[in-house]
Amino acid sequence: MPLRSWGPGGGGQASRYVAAGALTAGMLVWAAHEAWPSRDVMVALPIVVTSAYDEWADTLGRREMLSDVLQRAGISGREYVSFMKATHVLNPRRMQPGLIFEIRRQKGQPVANRLGVRLDPERRLWMTRLGGDSGWREIIQDIPWATERLRTTAVIQSNLYDALDAAIPDSFLPVRQRVGLAWAIADVYDWEIDFTRDLRPGDRVEVLIERLESPEGERRLGRILAARVEVGGSPSFAFAFDHYAGQPEFYDDRGRSLRRAFLRAPLRFSHISSRFGGRYHPILKRWRTHEGTDYAAAYGTPVRATADGVVTEAGRNGGYGNLIELRHANGIRTRYGHLSRFAAGLHVGQHVSQEQTIGYVGSTGLSTGPHLHYEFLVNGRPTNPQRKDAGAGEPVPAKLKAAFDSTRVRLLAELEPGPVPVKPALGAAVGAARDD
C-alpha cells in the first residue's frame, strides 16, 4: 500500500537541541509518566476499545464549505489552520456537495482526531491529529478493488439499455454502471454496429467483463474482455488483445481489428441521451428530398467525422442548413446537415481524422427539431452504407498471431461456457465465469 504522508515531521531532531530552560509541557508530562512504575503498583483498568471513541459520518451540504464540516468536528480556529497546513490534496474551493466524511473523536475530547474522506474511486484520504503542537498528518490510501470476471447475456426487446438493465441485477452492477456498460459495448463496436438503429427484437448481446469490488462493497465496471453481438442472426465477435501493452485493441474471431475506415454512425452512442439513443426513432420525413439517415439528438451533441477525409464544404446550403461535406478515399463522400455550428476553425481544404468533432447537432435549414442528417455518397449517389463500405480491419500482426489465438480460445471459453441455446429465453442469464 503506497502511502504518501506530509506534516510537521522532524520533531525528534528539534527536541534534541531544546535548551534546559525551555522544556515543553509535553516533555514534562513524559518525564512524570516515566517515574510512575517506581512509585506505586498500578492496577490496569480494563480497556473497552469500542467506547474509547465516538465515530460518525458527516456530509458536505449544498452551499456548505469544508470549514463548516470541520467546525462540526471541533476543528476551527488554530486547529483549522493547522489542519489545512497539513493537507495537500483537500482543496476547499473544489469540493462536491454530498462528500461524506468519516470522523472519529476520542471520548470527552472537543476536537476530532481522525477524519477520512473518499477522494475518488481509487483513493481515500486520512487526516490524523498527532496531538500537542504536532498538528495533523495526511495519509493517502489506495483502495484495493478486487477484480472478478463475469459474463452476461442480454436479449434485445427494445434497445441495448433496457436489455442490459433487465439482464443484470443491481447486486451485480448498479444502474449507472449498467449504462456505462452499454456505452462501452457501443464503443467496442463503433465501426461495426449502429446500436441506435441496427438492433431488432431477438438480437443478442453476450459480454465478458471485469467487475471491480471495493472493500466497502461498491461495484463497478472494469474492462470489457470479450463480446459477441448477434444482429439479424449474424454474430460479431470482439476479443480484447493487448497489442502494445497499453489500451487493448479488439479483434474479431478471425483476428481482424474491429477498427475500419468508416464509423458506423456519426454520433457517439454515449453522447445520445438514453431517451433518444436506445429507441428506434421514427424518421422525420418532412423534407422532400430526403436521402439520408436522421439521428435525433440533443442540441449541441458533438458530430464526428466517420472517416479520415478532406472538408469540401462547410457552410449554409438550402434545406441542409449548416452543412459539412467530407471527401474520403474510394469516391466516398459524407454529409452532415442541420448543424447548429461548426467546430472552431473548420474550413474547406482541411484534413480531418476519423472520430474528430467537426460540428454540433442543431436544427438549421428544413428541420422540425434538433437532429443530424447524415448522408453517405458513393460516386455522388446517396447510398445506405454497407459493411463492405467500411473497409476491412487490419489483421493481428503475424508475429502475434499465435498469442492472439490462445487469448481468443481462452476468452471464448469464458464468454460461452456452454452451447448457445437455440431459442434463447427472453430476459437474462448472469453467471460467474471461470478465471484461470
> Taking the complex as a whole, how short is the minimal distance between the CB of residue 287 and Zn ion, in angstroms?
6
Name the residue with the smallest CB distance to Zn ion.
373
Closer to Zn ion by CB, 105 or 373: give it.
373
* Other Cβ atoms closer than 10 A to 21: 5
Cell 503542537 belongs to residue: 133
Bridge partners, 151 (sequence order): 208, 431
Q: Which is nearer to Zn ion, 191 or 295 (CB)?
A: 295
Residue 294 in contact with Zn ion, rule: CB under 5 A: yes
Distance CA 334, CA 303 (A): 12
- Binders in 392-421 for Zn ion, by CB under 5 A: none
Task: Check: CB of residue 346 under 8 Å from CB of residue 311.
Answer: yes
CB of 421 to Zn ion, least distance (A): 40
Give one DSSP letter per residue of 78-142, joined into a string.
HHHHHHHHH-SS--TTS--TT-EEEEEEETT-SS-SEEEEEEETTEEEEEEE-STTS-EEEEEEE
58 binds Zn ion (CB under 5 A): no
Site for Zn ion in 244-263 (CB under 5 A): none
Least distance between Zn ion and beta carbon 294 (Å):
4
Least separation in angstroms between CB 328 and Zn ion: 20
Q: Which is nearer to Zn ion, 271 or 373 (CB)?
A: 373
Using CB under 5 A as the binding rule, the residues of this chain from 360 to 379 that contact Zn ion are 373
- Considering the complex, state which of residue 294 and residue 325 has its C-beta at the smaller distance from Zn ion: 294
Segment near Zn ion (CB under 5 A); pick from 67-75, 213-221, 286-294, 347-355: 286-294
| Contact stretch for Zn ion (CB under 5 A) within 10-18, 55-63, 290-298, 355-363 | 290-298
According to CB under 5 A, which residues from 99 to 158 bind Zn ion?
Answer: none
> CA-to-CA distance for 350 and 345, rounded, in angstroms?
9
Q: Residues 212, 219: contact at Cβ < 8 Å?
A: yes
CB atoms within 10 A of CB 62: 7
- The distance of closest approach from Cβ of residue 290 to Zn ion in the complex, given in angstroms and rounded to an integer, is 5
How many residues bind Zn ion (CB under 5 A)? The answer is 3
Closest distance to Zn ion from the beta carbon of 337 (Å): 7
Comparing CA positions, the residue from 118, 167, 164, 169 lying closest to residue 145 is 118
Cβ-proximal residues to 116 (8 Å cutoff; 6+ apart), any chain: 101, 102, 103, 124, 125, 126, 127
Q: Which stretch binds Zn ion (CB under 5 A): 50-58, 135-143, 287-295, 423-431?
A: 287-295
CA distance linking residue 326 with residue 320, whole number of Å? 15
* CB nearer to Zn ion: pick between 278 and 365: 365
Nearest to 222 by CA among 282, 138, 145: 145
Binding site for Zn ion (CB under 5 A): 292, 294, 373
